[in-house]
Structure 1
Amino acid sequence: MINSSAMWLRSASLIAILLCSQPVLAQDSSELTDPGLSPAAPAGSDNPFGEIIVTAQKRAQSLRDVPVSISAYSGDQLKKLGITNTTEITQQIPAMHINAWSPNVTIFNLRGISQNNFTDYLEAPVAVYTDNAYMGSINGISGQLFDIERVEVLRGPQGTLFGRNATGGVVHYLSHGATDRDLNGYVEGSYGRFEQRSLEGAIGGQIVEGWRARLSMRRALGGNYIKAKDTDAANGLVSSGQDVGGQNAFSLRATTQIDVTPDLMVELWYKYSRDHEVPTGAYSFENCVFEANGYCRVNSAGLTNGPGGVINGITGAKASPYDNFSGTAGHLNRRVHIGQANVTWKLGDVELTSITNYTTLKKDYLEDGDGLPIEVIVFGTTAKYDQISQELRLSGGSGPLKWQVGGYYLDMRTKGTMTTIGAPVIGNAIDLNGAANAPQVLERYSLISKNWSVFGQGEYQLTPELSLIAGLRYSKDSKSMDYISTLSDIGFPDQTLATDETFSSQRPGANRISHGDYAARVSLNYKPNRDTLIFASYNRGIKGGNWTLAPTVTADLFQHKPETLHSFELGAKLSTPDQKLRVNATLFHYIYEDYQAFAMIGGTPQVSNSDALATGAEVEITWQPVDHLNMMLGGSWETSKVKTVRAAGEQIGPELFPGAPDAQYCTNIGGAFRCVFPDATVKDAQFPNAPRFSLNYLVRYDFDVGAGTGAVQVDGAWYDKQFLEVTNAASSIQRAYNVTNMSLSWTDPSNRFDVSLWGKNVFGEQYRAYTLNLGILGTTSYYAPPASYGATVRVSL
């Protein structure tokens, strides 16, 4: 294990060396631009939340000129918001939510569109891009946010330009590239409650004429806000002794730009990130009303439906969501290497763009899945992921037409294991061996996924005020799955439960996918003047099919179908001539075909298809009522319906104490219980993480103090009641809550020194970041951090 203090000192030393280094030559950067990655447009001197330039349509445009529901923040704005993690952007993005537990897996949710599945081999319906390259693994989405140029969040299907798995939208992180000629950089340190501490820095500039470089890094430690607590030490019911909820992460990014000719620029990236022995994988146990057999009360679909909040799962007493009673210590180890080459070549009136990306990721994760000091569920995964992608794009314009065409290739390979110990696999042992001692199931898989696509989009100016955008993308998936699951139990020989070949023998082709489909976009845009844009659009989004890897599924359910989303939007972007008031609003209606719904079915994570509908709206307001006072308000409204979601049907669990009686839907079959539930489906469910209403807010006031500038800021978000799972069980309801953050900062007159005091979730709101309904075994949850506070100091060159 790497010594944390030593690593911290090495990080500090490296940044100090970087900031003391001098380039060969430094010149003025005023003439240098970064094609396709335009920086934030300058804001007014006291308006830190001014307009920015985005590339949502793969070309630089003012945000107010893009006929898409989009939110974007520059790096300076993110700094003022105190955002240092890729997942923290959600509070200031209307209709955006997050499902996350530890750094292991992060799932973004836009307008209720997500796939709250924790399995490593699936892709999400909200595509995540970093520096114009797609990240195909949900394991690689979470990470540290540092030295960032901007973040763009596009709501609604974006498949025409961004690919087949952008059904719900796109989250795009754009790092600070090697665009500057002048030497520049910074070093920043932060310390907060729960001993959370971080150190980051960057340096960049011109080395020689036509060659620029930039190096940045970040180290983050601590923050374990969930504390180990014993249940009954006298009787041996002790926790793992592990505090969880924090991080132990290091990230490095190096990039260079070379002007080969005045018209040809090559940009190279290398990125590395590491999470090392992160203490994680523990949950709260909640909403359980105990039956006579020791199990939790469930509804007729086999879903835990008790009230009561967090409890000690052994004693039944009330407990804090920040107590860890788990008996098994979890961990996360993850390494990611990314190499990327971007080429931009101007060929007269046409520009050629090439983006080549190679990503490799390794992960080892273990969790205590029950939230108890006894071993009921232990779950572990390993994954090795490799990705190669290549995009070629031509763009240009002549007269009233702007256009782009291109092709894309993606090759993803995932090899992994899943190990499940305890209650979820007792049924497997009983079915095969007639008894269960200490069963565990090891699942091994190898997924090869290849995709190619061709696309084109054009914008034609019909009149000076009216334009038409039309786009089309054809995408072809070719996938194969090799799978085997093996049961091991003390006193019995190992036995094979299922393989992809057994499923294919019952349903030919079950382990292969070859599917082509198209994404489309049509948008009519009316812009009578500089300050008004009204648009109406139709988008067809697509997401590929995949598999449910579990020995308990049938051949018909082993593979689930692709999903298709038809989106209709009406939007407006309005501003006053002085730009002190800007309003962006969008109304949308979704029609889903074969929506991929995730649920725990009989203790097994599974995906099934169903039709769905949703209608909603978002609004964003930026207002500067007087000098030095800036306000941002956002809100969303949504209603949704998923026609049918498969429920458990049946679940088998251990006999928790000798002679436990039958209770509710469960019958003692000798050493175990077999529970059969009358309702096989949940009908007319709501999307998960889709509250009826939400509101985000920010108020910032700048003022002169001493020789510098001070600022006080209040920001946060309020969310209406919502379901955290598509099964809509009572135990997965998250009540309405509000999270408020505050900060006080000061900047010296030279803008080289900043210091800020900050507080996050200052009123200590308790709310869940993740919930999983385990049926008779109860509900486990992971709570977001409580109130925290700290200080940050930044020194710039």
Structure 2
Amino acid sequence: MLPCNKASFFFRKTLIALGLSLACTGQAAELEEILVTAEFRPTRLLDQPNSTSVVSQFEIKERAAQHLEEVLNLAPNVNYAGGSSRARFYQIRGIGERSQFQEPLNPSIGFIIDGIDFSGLGTVGGLFDVDQVEVLRGPQGTLHGANALAGLINVRSAAPKNEPGLSISASAANYDTWSLGLVGTGPLIKDTLLFRLAVQEYRSDGFSKNTYLKRDDTANRDETMARAKLRWLASDTATLDVTAFYADVDNGYDVFSLDNTRRTLSDEPGSDKQKSSALAFDWQQSLSAADLEARVSWASSESDYSFDEDWAYVGIAPELEYSSFDQFLRDRDSYSAELRLLSNESSRLINDRGDWVVGLYYLADREDLVRRYTYLTQDFRSTYDTDTLALFTQLDTQLSERLSLLSGLRVEQRRTDYYDNNGVASDPKKNLWGGRLTLEYQLSDDSMLYAGLSRGYRANGINAGVLASMEAYNDPAVLGLLERVQRYDDESLLNYEAGFKASFLDKRLSTRLALFYMDRKDQQVKGSLVIPRPNGSTDFIDHTNNAASGNNYGLELELDWLATDSLQVYAHLGLLETRFDDYINSDGRDLSGRDQAHAPSYQYAIGGRYDLGAGFFARLDIEGKDKFYFSDRHELQAPSFNLVHMRLGYASEQWSLALWGRNLGDKKYAVRGFGSFGNDPRKEYIVEPYYQYGEPRQVGISADYHF
């Protein structure tokens, strides 16, 4: 058996693709080893000099999680925004988008599914047959470029296996919730051509009741996910992976209530739909002088996001009311290609002490938008094309027996071409760069220290909605607001990080600690201008602006402990401080020194699983967050909260059955909020807070059977 740190790169990739783990010792009772696959080379989590959380397939099933939003609280300093049926936008260490309406989006968080870029399209983050979710915190300027200013979420589904297998999964819960999934895998040609097919249907009425329409399904969830994978073991040194992905999310969107309850009054409930198809090819070959990886992918997504803007019905307050509906129809096609060369034993540099990677990357995004809005004289139409070409390299140098230096650089040319039917046209081009320098010191085979500097970046752009609105207003004060936010510059981020990773007690205790300080320059800040209408209601124009600077700092701590052969516990903690150093927002308010939005000061998750014997088990999870601002434009905050989840069940080699509950205390916690306008004509549009709440208490039963 090869030691973990001596196993060849190609050998590791083959094991991962076959769905096997890398055994490192013969000891029976120890924590399972975790490999991070988002790096250039598969790397042990305890050897990776980066703050990373990994959620395994086992943990996904234990939490009865259907979507990424239901496991992200396990990752310290990771948050997500509501404002949709499923969380589409994520924040890492307080950085990340919270919404998208008319404007094009340059994501701060990369979101990858099986090597396919879905950044900004998190609706399809379903977790059925997912092997693990990897959350890399901090800029990934070398690894992924402009879409990963603050971090990367990498979702890897289960791989085809060489032995035939079939499994059925089903669940049922309150709110008329149910799911049914099927997975089949095995060889089409033994030891040569393997397949895997996974299909799931998920249905729920959702958690809102529309009292005006007398319906309880206006925020329903209707989600279909399918994935097919082929793996061709072409030779002892070459493999081809083919992945086909399909998602059809046909969800309702009716969650905001004038009364801040789960009972809505909308007469035109909205929707949050996304239909995505994708295909990816990944060729890997071990050559005499280097290992070769070539990847190409295509993804096409159609989305329909709409809502009743007044949240009410005609007749609720005839003298003051307004009625409007807003709909955003987006089509996005993405094409990517990547070529990597990785050193092997015969091509290391610096007297066989330097492993290198060099690569070329291309991404083309083609996005068309149609906005249909009550107050527009005609549909708004825009086209946003982006072409990204990048060259990257990384060198891992063994400076001594215990000390290593990791150095990486990525140079990227990003060209955008935007135009719309309001006569706005822009084609900015920008050269961007990122990289990292990290020192790693091995204290022992199972412990290490690291310290480093990494640089991330985010592209510049225009505020098309602002430019298109200039002719619609005559008020000098309003025009002054618009003129200040017509364009915004690119943002850069320097991340200083030091960490400690170790395994203790004969690999029964795993510890991961990271301290970080992030220095943001020309920080991009999302906001919206609030412009009064003659009837007392308000209009909104979304925009992005630059704050002069800001900084985010804190720590992440993760402990996993196999306390006994029957009891395994964990404790994860994130502490975060964020502030604007120098920022006056579009309303003219000085926010210098204030916390940034969606950045709770603490976040935690603790829990454990106890084997009761004879196949029976019990699991308890508790998680919570501190309060945080919803926006950089107003003062409304999400209150702090604590949630309790539990699972009781039985598992054997062939089947399992479990009773579970999420948010057992039925806590009302907010995932989105507005605090700068009034929308209730019954109260003459006085300014008051409005909230979207997270999932209430859910109780259900799940069953799996493996043939």
Question: TM-score category by the smaller chain?
Answer: 0.7 to 0.9
The answer to whether the 8 Å contact 1:46/1:628 transfers is no
Match in the other structure for 1:540: 455
Shift of 1:204: 0.7
The answer to whether the 8 Å contact 1:387/1:411 transfers is yes
Match in the other structure for 1:189: 170
Alignment-mate amino acid for residue 166 of structure 2: G
Partner Cα distance (1:32, 1:638) in 2: 35
The answer to whether the 8 Å contact 2:519/2:550 transfers is yes
Deviations 1:507-538 (A, max 9, x none): xxxx1110001101000011120121110010
Shift of 1:81: 2.6
Partner Cα distance (1:48, 1:761) in 2: 31
Task: Determine if the alignment matches structure 1 residue 204 to structure 2 residue 128.
Answer: no
The answer to whether the 8 Å contact 1:47/1:628 transfers is no
Partner Cα distance (2:673, 2:527) in 1: 11
Task: Determine if the alignment matches structure 1 residue 596 to structure 2 residue 596.
Answer: no
Q: Percent identity?
A: 21
1:47/1:737 CA distance change after superposition, 3 Å:
farther
Shift of 1:626: 2.3
The answer to whether the 8 Å contact 1:645/1:685 transfers is no
* SS of aligned partner of 2:58: helix
Partner Cα distance (1:420, 1:105) in 2: 23
Deviations 1:171-225 (A, max 9, x none): 00001122x1100131100000101110111101111131111111110111411
Partner Cα distance (1:609, 1:407) in 2: 31
Task: Determine if the alignment matches structure 1 residue 384 to structure 2 residue 331.
Answer: yes
Task: Determine if the alignment matches structure 1 residue 763 to structure 2 residue 665.
Answer: yes
* SS of aligned partner of 1:78: helix
Task: Determine if the alignment matches structure 1 residue 723 to structure 2 residue 629.
Answer: yes
1:345/1:527 CA distance change after superposition, 3 Å:
same
Match in the other structure for 1:516: 431
The answer to whether the 8 Å contact 1:243/1:324 transfers is no
The answer to whether the 8 Å contact 2:529/2:542 transfers is yes
Match in the other structure for 2:617: 711
1:101/1:41 CA distance change after superposition, 3 Å:
farther
Shift of 1:266: 1.2
Task: Determine if the alignment matches structure 1 residue 350 to structure 2 residue 259.
Answer: no
Deviations 1:593-634 (A, max 9, x none): 111111121221111011111111110111122221111101
- Structure 2 gaps of 5+ residues are 1-10, 315-321, 471-481, 531-539, 680-686
Q: How does 1:306-385 map to 2 (within 5 A)?
A: 311=259, 321-374=261-314, 375-385=322-332
Shift of 1:100: 2.5
Between Structure 1 and Structure 2, how many residues are aligned?
650
Q: CA RMSD in A?
A: 2.4
Counterpart of 2:366 (choices 393, 413, 425) is: 413
Task: Determine if the alignment matches structure 1 residue 742 to structure 2 residue 680.
Answer: no
Kindly name which structure, 1 or 2, has the bigger radius of gyration based on alpha carbons: 1
Match in the other structure for 1:452: 389
* SS of aligned partner of 1:279: strand
Match in the other structure for 1:785: 695
The answer to whether the 8 Å contact 2:137/2:151 transfers is yes
Match in the other structure for 1:5: none
Q: How does 1:435-584 map to 2 (within 5 A)?
A: 442-485=379-422, 499-501=423-425, 511-550=426-465, 551-552=468-469, 554=482, 557-584=485-512
Partner Cα distance (1:226, 1:42) in 2: 47
Moved more, 382-391 or 413-422: 413-422
Q: How does 1:124-135 map to 2 (within 5 A)?
A: 124-135=107-118
1:585/1:793 CA distance change after superposition, 3 Å:
same
The answer to whether the 8 Å contact 2:229/2:241 transfers is yes
Match in the other structure for 1:283: 256
1:521/1:364 CA distance change after superposition, 3 Å:
same
Partner Cα distance (2:13, 2:431) in 1: 42
Task: Determine if the alignment matches structure 1 residue 53 to structure 2 residue 35.
Answer: yes
Alignment-mate amino acid for residue 575 of structure 1: S
1:35/1:242 CA distance change after superposition, 3 Å:
closer
The answer to whether the 8 Å contact 2:254/2:266 transfers is no
Match in the other structure for 1:18: none
Shift of 1:247: 0.8
Partner Cα distance (1:415, 1:99) in 2: 24
1:41/1:622 CA distance change after superposition, 3 Å:
farther
The answer to whether the 8 Å contact 2:241/2:282 transfers is yes
Partner Cα distance (2:162, 2:417) in 1: 48
* SS of aligned partner of 2:248: strand
1:279/1:56 CA distance change after superposition, 3 Å:
closer
The answer to whether the 8 Å contact 2:111/2:122 transfers is no
Partner Cα distance (1:219, 1:228) in 2: 25
Match in the other structure for 1:495: none
The answer to whether the 8 Å contact 1:382/1:416 transfers is yes
* SS of aligned partner of 1:745: strand
1:78/1:142 CA distance change after superposition, 3 Å:
same
Partner Cα distance (2:380, 2:617) in 1: 54
Shift of 1:37: 8.4
Match in the other structure for 2:684: none
Shift of 1:36: 7.3
Alignment-mate amino acid for residue 677 of structure 2: G
Shift of 1:146: 1.0
Alignment-mate amino acid for residue 595 of structure 1: Q
Match in the other structure for 1:697: 606
Match in the other structure for 1:265: 239
Shift of 1:648: 5.7
1:790/1:48 CA distance change after superposition, 3 Å:
farther
Match in the other structure for 1:156: 138
The answer to whether the 8 Å contact 1:36/1:58 transfers is no
Match in the other structure for 1:427: none
Shift of 1:164: 1.7
Partner Cα distance (1:32, 1:634) in 2: 29
The answer to whether the 8 Å contact 2:19/2:158 transfers is no
Match in the other structure for 1:400: 353
Moved more, 205-214 or 78-87: 78-87
* SS of aligned partner of 2:175: helix
Counterpart of 2:72 (choices 83, 90, 115) is: 90
Question: Normalization by structure 2: what TM-score?
Answer: 0.87
The answer to whether the 8 Å contact 2:283/2:293 transfers is yes
Partner Cα distance (2:371, 2:30) in 1: 47
Alignment-mate amino acid for residue 598 of structure 2: N
Deviations 1:138-173 (A, max 9, x none): 235533211112111000001101122211100000
Shift of 1:542: 0.7
Deviations 1:482-517 (A, max 9, x none): 0234xxxxxxxxxxxxx215xxxxxxxxx1110001
1:682/1:420 CA distance change after superposition, 3 Å:
farther
Partner Cα distance (1:140, 1:615) in 2: 26
Shift of 1:378: 2.4
* SS of aligned partner of 1:683: coil
Partner Cα distance (2:405, 2:113) in 1: 29
1:700/1:48 CA distance change after superposition, 3 Å:
farther
Alignment-mate amino acid for residue 567 of structure 1: N
Counterpart of 2:545 (choices 587, 605, 608) is: 608
The answer to whether the 8 Å contact 1:240/1:327 transfers is no
Partner Cα distance (1:479, 1:262) in 2: 43
Alignment-mate amino acid for residue 350 of structure 1: A
The answer to whether the 8 Å contact 1:282/1:368 transfers is no
* SS of aligned partner of 1:275: strand
* SS of aligned partner of 1:535: strand
